[in-house]
Amino acid sequence: MDKKALLELSNGLKIELPILNGTVGPGVLNIKDLYRTTGLFTYDPGFVSTASCSSAITFIDGDEGVLKYRGHSIADLAENNNFTAVIYLLLHGELPNLEQHKKFLLKIEKLSKVPEQVVNVIKAFPKTAHPMSILITCFASLSALYHERHGNNVNSEDLDFGISAIAQVPAIVAMIYRHINDQEFINANNELSYSENFLRMMFGDAFDNAKSALFAKALDKIFTLHADHEQNASTAAVRLVGSAGSSLFASLSAGVATLWGPTHGGANEAVINMLKEIEQSGDIDKFIEKAKDDKDPFKLMGFGHRVYKNYDPRARILKNACNEVLGKLEQSSELLKIAKGLEKIALKDEYFVTRKLYPNVDFYSGIIMNAIDIPSNMFTPIFALARTTGWVTQWYEMANDKETKINRPRQLYVGK
Ligand code: CMC
């Protein structure tokens, strides 16, 4: 029997609220008709207790530290599949067989050419610009070319313009990097895998074969781990913009803008800056104390998560990947030592234990990218590159969901 919750108001009005059950996960109280039947809204700043949509793409169990894409565990995907298979999985719902994968790679290749207009946009930026500001503009600029593709004008078969975004974003991010570093752009080499090609467009022939293979494998894993994360802030922004009927590329631009913030994707850049500061000061305890001080706005970057109240499964995989990359490079990293030291202290400290604050995905990813010599201002664009797949997939789901309405929250008015 379907479960219901009974709401009794002080005026004696009683209403029943249905409790919806997903495939797995907690019950969800359906308050869709609450305003119509009672004249009341709900108040939930930051959507702490609010599901804004239903979705069949990604599942998180925050208490158990579980993450699955289309039913596949993130550890299995990161260890046993490459990123293009994961893109296919997210878009189509199933992992590809060999033939499907081959065809999909040809499609990515066909759609990967970045329009000259976008190349000119990148070149117009000052070299001092933050790469995320350029990336926002690149997606906004692509919306000029795909403007007819609005949210009320897509069919689920027509994935090509979404795949164009996924196919072009590695070249766009690499061009942004080379532009701000005053270097010539490098053409794509379609003989290479998605991740190898990205590494080459960033750095040319800077690495020998062994290092290229090691770094491309690590990046591929980073891309897989960042590809989607259900209704996080940037995905919610993409869906919100799309819910008004705006085009995919305009929506993606909003996604990049949201991801840039240091409490979201910008945390990976902030983590490495924090670790470097700790290295300079040589005093981990001081940073732990600052993070615990409620009068100090400082937070331990790369720690805590709205949904995970357990170790973020992505951080666990990335910690192992850090060990692997640095081990193979025969490098000892002071930053990795500091990160592990910080984690050890925090996981025993009452402040972090009682609040269930664990390392998140951004805690270890930057150490790997640092070992590849990727500058920290490129960390968040690389996160955006990977998350483009999630944004595109979620945008299609939103556009094809009969329940989608323009996202229009209400407010508690406290003004004059
Ligand atoms: N350092 C110190 N205290 C923290 C931290 C932290 N990193 N994170 C949360 N807290 C405290 C917070 O002050 C609060 O304490 P109290 O109950 O005494 O007021 C309590 O823990 C609960 O935190 P919250 O702010 O209510 O949690 P939230 O769900 O609103 O925020 C978060 C989640 C990720 C924004 C936050 O943990 C944070 O700012 N972390 C640092 C930034 C970061 O690493 N962000 C990356 C998130 S994962 C990747 C992604 O989203 O892209």
User: Ligand 1 centre and the CA of 304: distance in Å?
Assistant: 5
- Give every CB contact of residue 97 below 8 A, 6+ residues apart in sequence: none
- How do the domains of the chain map onto residue ranges? 4-69, 73-409
The residue to mutate among 230, 235, 256, 263, having the most atoms of ligand 1 within 8 angstroms of its beta carbon, is: 263
Chain CA centroid to CA 320, Å: 20
Residue 374 sits at φ, ψ, to 5 deg, of -80, 125
Would residue 305 show up in a list of annotated catalytic residues for this protein? Answer: yes
Q: Do domains 4-69 and 73-409 have the same CATH topology?
A: no
DSSP single-letter state for residue 296: S
Residue 94 contacts residue 339 (beta carbons within 8 Å): no
Residue ranges lining ligand 1, Cβ < 6 Å: 232, 263-265, 267, 291, 294, 299-306, 355, 357, 360-362
321-379 pLDDT per residue, tens = 999 999 998 777 889 999 999 999 999 999 999 999 999 999 999 999 999 999 999 99
Q: Is domain 4-69 in CATH 2.20.28.60, yes or no? A: yes
- Ligand 1, atom 18: nearest CA belongs to which residue? 294
Handedness of CA 75, 76, 81, 87 (dihedral sign): negative
Mean pLDDT, all residues of the chain:
95
- Ligand 1, atom 39: nearest CA belongs to which residue? 263
- For position 330, what pLDDT does the model report? 79
Question: Of residues 159 and 350, which shows the higher confidence score?
Answer: 350
Nearest 5°: the CA angle 7, 13, 15 is: 40
Asked whether residue 150 carries a pLDDT value surpassing 90, the answer given is no
CATH architecture of 73-409: Orthogonal Bundle (1.10)
- Ligand 1, atom 19: nearest CA belongs to which residue? 294
Round to whole Å and give the CA distance between 238 and 227.
Answer: 14
